[in-house]
Chain A
Amino acid sequence: MTLMKNTSMLLLFLALSSGSVSAQTPENVGDIADGNRSVPVHLIKLYDECERVIRLDDRPLMPFSPRETCRKCHDYEKIRHGWHFNAADSGAPGRKGEPWILVDRQAATQISLSYRSWTGTYAPGSVGLSTFGFLKTFGRHLPGGGVGEKEGAQDLNDYMRWQVSGNLDVNCQSCHNADPGQSQAEYGVQVLRQNFRWAATAGSGFSTVQGSAGEMPDNFDLYSAVPPEQSNVLPPTVTYNSSRFDVAGRVLFNVPRKMPPMQCSFCHSSKVIDPLRPERWQGEEDVHIAAGMTCADCHRNGLDHQMVRGYEGEAEETGRPAVASFTCRGCHMGSVDAPVPFEGRRGAPRPRHPGIPPVHFDKLACTACHSGPWPTSSTHRVKTSRAHALGIPKTDKGDDALPQIVTPVFARLQDGTFAPHNACWPAFWAVQSGDDLAPVAPDRMRARVQAVLGRDTTRVVGRWPVLQESEILEILQLLRLDDSTSGNPVYVSGGKLYTISPGGTLARREDEAARPYLWPIAHDVRPKAQSLGVRGCTDCHATDAPFHFGTVTIASPFLLQPDSTSRMTEYQDKSPFSAWVFSMSFLFRPGLQVMLIVCFFLIASVVVIPALRGLAHIIRTLAAEEE
């Protein structure tokens, strides 16, 4: 009898277990479309991080966890490995994208970081940023997930802080909540306050979060009062707008199938500093958005959240052939190899490209002529959401705010085609050992740089703490004194690598580490009438055309090279001479056209006139024979 009872209990346990497991499998109710095109109403209960339903009379009132709330109907495990969250996962990094740029003015540092293995970027850990530190710095523009919840990647030294702040789980609402109150800015502020577990709730638009986990001691406990010694600071607390809860304790989320572009813009905006168009009203938006499309019309994804990035070659790289139809070519030109035609999606017009030799379509990405700001004689500075914390309250709104990024730089992509890029020049202290270059954490350098700079507070050029050659040498010597065994101290800046020569002077040289980090840009797409080439070949093939001969500004905190420049051809694996000669030939093109036409008619006359005379002779001969 006891055995039967135990067996029944075991079966019951297994049944319940299988039920709870099935709640996290792809059979989740929200993940299977039945074909109905209406939008499901998301009137749902909220769950906290311990999977307990949130009730307004709970004490303490907990923030809701998107992870636990959404996983009731959606396969969170699958979603959390999507493109926005998988940077720290091993696997294909995909085409180079925008890095996280760590800026420390006081350490004269500007360095590109990424958890992805993009050449030219450094792992955050290499500059002393633990995952916790990374989130504190950049989490404002992350939709959570990734290192925010990857407990295996958490530094043991940060263990207590993680306990206080909680994990930064995937915040589904960052992209899927169309409520006008949904505020990614508020989310960002909460992340900066280290209120990781509260951030999603604060940004939802129906709650208020006060206090800061960052100010709480390591032993802060959510469920108990603040220690007396910390009574002057406010612990993180949440207050819900009770009117948003129905009698069953459910909250209505506005989750449309396709989010408006503004939702993506928080993290994907850029501001080009164009002196000719300083005001916002003078600018334009992407031609696709202006036509009423949304970002998700092209950048689609399935449940796995592997976003279509939309670049040429992505289909082959990711092994997803269907992705090829979402590139510029895919929608506008289609493919002759496709089993069914897919061009013309969303009414995409097929371009005629009249008068443009086909070689252009092999040598240029579509974006070369159609995307980014119209190139002028020199590059513009550009501010981006992630690099300059755009959208976050009290961020530096100055046009010269660091990091310094310039655009458009026409450089080669991996597939050999030219495309516009953003470029960021690295500036950092490092230790070189053999061929390896290990950046020194800005925290370590700050005091040394300030000790040198502190002697003269009058130097201000832009936002960089301007350094002179003797000062760089002095700082490098200090660095060497610190640890002479680890390698040779160097400073990378302005496209050069500076080191102490055997004679004790400062030596400079070219180095791969000093090359700018370039990432391709595809937006904003300009209207057809503003495409390169619309005014003729000389838009690009003139001896002063920006495409080849534009001036690229090199950002540098180094005094001898403030705003030094380079030519666009340096990034094109192209000899400036051959580019110049080729462009020069276009000066003679009008004359050449006339000459060729004259030659053609001359030769045609020489061929046709005797032919007509021969024909006349034949006619006469035949007539004579008849007569």
Chain B
Amino acid sequence: MTVFRILSGLAIAALLGAIAYDLRRCGERWSGPGRFLRQEAKRAVLDWRGRKNTGTAGTLDLLRRIVYGVSAASFLVLALTGFAPILILGDHLSGVLLIIHVTIAPIFALFLSALALLWAHRLRFNEGDWRFVQGQGNRRPFRKEMFLRFALKVGFWLVLFFSLPLLLTVILGFFPLFGTEGEALLIRWHGYSALLLMLVALTEIHLTIVYVHHSTEHPVKEVAP
């Protein structure tokens, strides 16, 4: 518990510090994420109202964004309820926080699955990404948009990848397969998976905000999350 507490504390602090630094470097004001959320909400309402005009593609696009939003929100609640008692109290998750955690967890799992299905094709790696990687090998200069798109794709697949041990450790814990030590190990792995997932997911959310902000200023043809 102590090692995990220290590790997660350091990792979260480092990531939040890096995000804050990046926001400043990009010249974003601290209200950037808030403004982004408001804009996205407005956009979702407008899309909902105009869904009859945009047809199935428009509805699917709206659905993608809703799924992304709910997944991110439920994930943040899970991260908060899961890590707060460990980081602040150094104690197991229990009481009201546990109730919130176990209530939100299935919603997250459901929406993450939907996210995987809805976004996997759009965020698949393609020739363009391969050229970008090759370009990095040849130290060619790259466009910020290309980097962000590539990073978002990497983040998306890493989120899905780290969610697998996260889910598996919960599923295995449900069944009387492991003894005291095994159960403790499952919880430890659940914690470390959650930590990795959180680091990647927070980065992904940050990159999404930056990407959307960037693409608003420099419109592109393809829509990204």
Contact with B along A458-479 (1 / 0, CB 8 A): 0000000000000000000000
B99→A582 contact, CB < 8 A: yes
With A359-B92, A596-B106, A599-B167 known to touch, is A352 a contact of B125 (CB < 8 Å)? no
Binds B, one of A31-39, A41-49, A559-567, A601-609: A601-609
Contact residues of B: prevailing secondary structure = helix
A610→B109 contact, CB < 8 A: no
Contact with B along A335-365 (1 / 0, CB 8 A): 0000000000000000111111111011100
B167→A607 contact, CB < 8 A: no
Which among A582, A585, A595, A604 is the interface contact of B164 at CB below 8 angstroms?
A604
Is the CB of B163 closer than 8 A to any CB of chain A? yes
A593→B171 contact, CB < 8 A: yes
- Compute how far the CA of A592 lies from the CA of B107 in the bound complex, rounded to whole angstroms: 10
B157→A607 contact, CB < 8 A: yes
Specify which chain B residues have a CB less than 8 angstroms from the CB of A363 in the assembled complex: 94
A354→B168 contact, CB < 8 A: no
A599→B109 contact, CB < 8 A: yes
Contact with A along B109-138 (1 / 0, CB 8 A): 110110011001000110000000000000
Binds A, one of B21-29, B172-180, B201-209: B172-180
With A578-B96, A600-B168, A607-B164 known to touch, is A595 a contact of B109 (CB < 8 Å)? yes
With A578-B99, A603-B113 known to touch, is A357 a contact of B173 (CB < 8 Å)? yes
Which residues in chain B, 74-118, are within 8 Å of chain A measured between CB atoms?
Answer: 92-96, 98-99, 102-103, 106, 109-110, 112-113, 116-117
- Compute how far the CA of A152 lies from the CA of B109 in the bound complex, rounded to whole angstroms: 72
Q: Which residue of A lies closest to B180 (CB)?
A: A353
Is the CB of A283 closer than 8 A to any CB of chain B? no
Minimum C-beta distance from A349 to chain B (A)? 12
A362→B92 contact, CB < 8 A: yes
B183→A358 contact, CB < 8 A: yes
Is the CB of A257 closer than 8 A to any CB of chain B? no
- Compute how far the CA of A269 lies from the CA of B34 in the bound complex, rounded to whole angstroms: 67
Is the CB of A21 closer than 8 A to any CB of chain B? no
Which residues in chain B, 167-201, are within 8 Å of chain A measured between CB atoms?
Answer: 167-168, 170-171, 173-180, 182-184, 187
Q: Which residue of B lies closest to A597 (CB)?
A: B171
Q: Which residue of A lies closest to B108 (CB)?
A: A599
Is the CB of A589 closer than 8 A to any CB of chain B? yes
- Compute how far the CA of A504 lies from the CA of B145 in the bound complex, rounded to whole angstroms: 84
Is the CB of B48 closer than 8 A to any CB of chain A? no
Contact with B along A584-627 (1 / 0, CB 8 A): 01000100110111111011101100100010000000000000
- Compute how far the CA of A361 lies from the CA of B179 in the bound complex, rounded to whole angstroms: 12
- Compute how far the CA of A578 lies from the CA of B100 in the bound complex, rounded to whole angstroms: 11
Minimum C-beta distance from A280 to chain B (A)? 35
Q: Which residue of B lies closest to A585 (CB)?
A: B102
Minimum C-beta distance from B181 to chain A (A)? 9
Which among B116, B124, B178, B182 is the interface contact of A603 at CB below 8 angstroms?
B116
- Compute how far the CA of A593 lies from the CA of B157 in the bound complex, rounded to whole angstroms: 24
B187→A355 contact, CB < 8 A: no
Q: Which residue of A lies closest to B174 (CB)?
A: A593
Which among B93, B113, B180 is the interface contact of A351 at CB below 8 angstroms?
B180
Which residues in chain A, 428-477, are within 8 Å of chain B measured between CB atoms?
Answer: none
Minimum C-beta distance from B192 to chain A (A)? 15
Is the CB of B160 closer than 8 A to any CB of chain A? yes
Is the CB of A14 closer than 8 A to any CB of chain B? no
Specify which chain B residues have a CB less than 8 angstroms from the CB of A357 in the assembled complex: 173, 183, 187
Which among B94, B99, B167, B177 is the interface contact of A600 at CB below 8 angstroms?
B167
Interface size classification for chain B? 35 or more
Is the CB of A581 closer than 8 A to any CB of chain B? yes
Contact with A along B140-171 (1 / 0, CB 8 A): 00000000000000000100110110011011
B171→A356 contact, CB < 8 A: no
Which among A352, A358, A585, A604 is the interface contact of B184 at CB below 8 angstroms?
A358
A355→B183 contact, CB < 8 A: yes
A607→B160 contact, CB < 8 A: yes
Minimum C-beta distance from A382 to chain B (A)? 31
A358→B180 contact, CB < 8 A: yes
Minimum C-beta distance from B97 to chain A (A)? 11
Specify which chain A residues have a CB less than 8 angstroms from the CB of B124 in the assembled complex: 610
A606→B187 contact, CB < 8 A: no
With A595-B106, A599-B110, A610-B120 known to touch, is A354 a contact of B176 (CB < 8 Å)? yes
Contact residues of A: prevailing secondary structure = helix
- Compute how far the CA of A596 lies from the CA of B110 in the bound complex, rounded to whole angstroms: 8
- Compute how far the CA of A2 lies from the CA of B177 in the bound complex, rounded to whole angstroms: 92
- Compute how far the CA of A297 lies from the CA of B98 in the bound complex, rounded to whole angstroms: 40
Q: Which residue of A lies closest to B125 (CB)?
A: A614
Specify which chain A residues have a CB less than 8 angstroms from the CB of B116 in the assembled complex: 602-603, 606-607
- Compute how far the CA of A582 lies from the CA of B106 in the bound complex, rounded to whole angstroms: 15
Contact with A along B25-62 (1 / 0, CB 8 A): 00000000000000000000000000000000000000
Minimum C-beta distance from B135 to chain A (A)? 19
Minimum C-beta distance from B65 to chain A (A)? 19
Specify which chain B residues have a CB less than 8 angstroms from the CB of A598 in the assembled complex: 113
Which of B95, B124, B163, B183 has its CB near the most chain A CB atoms (within 10 A)?
Answer: B183
B180→A603 contact, CB < 8 A: no
- Compute how far the CA of A581 lies from the CA of B93 in the bound complex, rounded to whole angstroms: 16
- Compute how far the CA of A353 lies from the CA of B160 in the bound complex, rounded to whole angstroms: 32
Specify which chain A residues have a CB less than 8 angstroms from the CB of B167 in the assembled complex: 596, 599-600, 603
Specify which chain B residues have a CB less than 8 angstroms from the CB of A352 in the assembled complex: 179-180
A585→B183 contact, CB < 8 A: no
Specify which chain B residues have a CB less than 8 angstroms from the CB of A578 in the assembled complex: 95-96, 99
Which of B102, B174, B175 has its CB near the most chain A CB atoms (within 10 A)?
Answer: B174
Minimum C-beta distance from B1 to chain A (A)? 10
Which of A351, A361, A582 has its CB near the most chain B CB atoms (within 10 A)?
Answer: A582
- Compute how far the CA of A593 lies from the CA of B105 in the bound complex, rounded to whole angstroms: 11
B187→A585 contact, CB < 8 A: no
A355→B99 contact, CB < 8 A: no
Q: Which residue of A lies closest to B116 (CB)?
A: A606
- Compute how far the CA of A574 lies from the CA of B31 in the bound complex, rounded to whole angstroms: 40
Specify which chain A residues have a CB less than 8 angstroms from the CB of B98 in the assembled complex: 582
Which among B99, B113, B178 is the interface contact of A602 at CB below 8 angstroms?
B113
Q: Which residue of A lies closest to B171 (CB)?
A: A596
Specify which chain A residues have a CB less than 8 angstroms from the CB of B160 in the assembled complex: 603, 606-607
Q: Which residue of B lies closest to A614 (CB)?
A: B125
- Compute how far the CA of A359 lies from the CA of B85 in the bound complex, rounded to whole angstroms: 13
Minimum C-beta distance from A24 to chain B (A)? 50
B180→A355 contact, CB < 8 A: no
Which of B93, B96, B106 has its CB near the most chain A CB atoms (within 10 A)?
Answer: B106
Minimum C-beta distance from A588 to chain B (A)? 8
B177→A355 contact, CB < 8 A: yes
Which among B103, B168, B180 is the interface contact of A361 at CB below 8 angstroms?
B180
- Compute how far the CA of A582 lies from the CA of B125 in the bound complex, rounded to whole angstroms: 43
Minimum C-beta distance from B159 to chain A (A)? 10
- Compute how far the CA of A318 lies from the CA of B94 in the bound complex, rounded to whole angstroms: 31
Known: A362-B92, A596-B109. 8 other contacts (CB 8 A): A358-B180, A593-B171, A595-B109, A596-B106, A599-B112, A600-B167, A600-B171, A606-B120
30 cross-chain CB contacts under 8 A: A351-B179, A353-B179, A353-B180, A354-B176, A354-B177, A354-B178, A354-B179, A354-B182, A355-B176, A355-B177, A355-B178, A357-B187, A358-B183, A578-B95, A578-B99, A581-B99, A582-B98, A582-B99, A593-B174, A595-B106, A595-B109, A597-B171, A600-B164, A602-B113, A602-B116, A603-B113, A603-B116, A603-B164, A606-B117, A610-B124
Interface residues of A (CB under 8 A from B): 351-359, 361-363, 578, 581-582, 585, 589, 592-593, 595-600, 602-604, 606-607, 610, 614
9 nearest A-B residue pairs (beta carbon): A355-B176, A352-B179, A354-B176, A606-B116, A599-B109, A602-B113, A600-B167, A599-B113, A358-B184
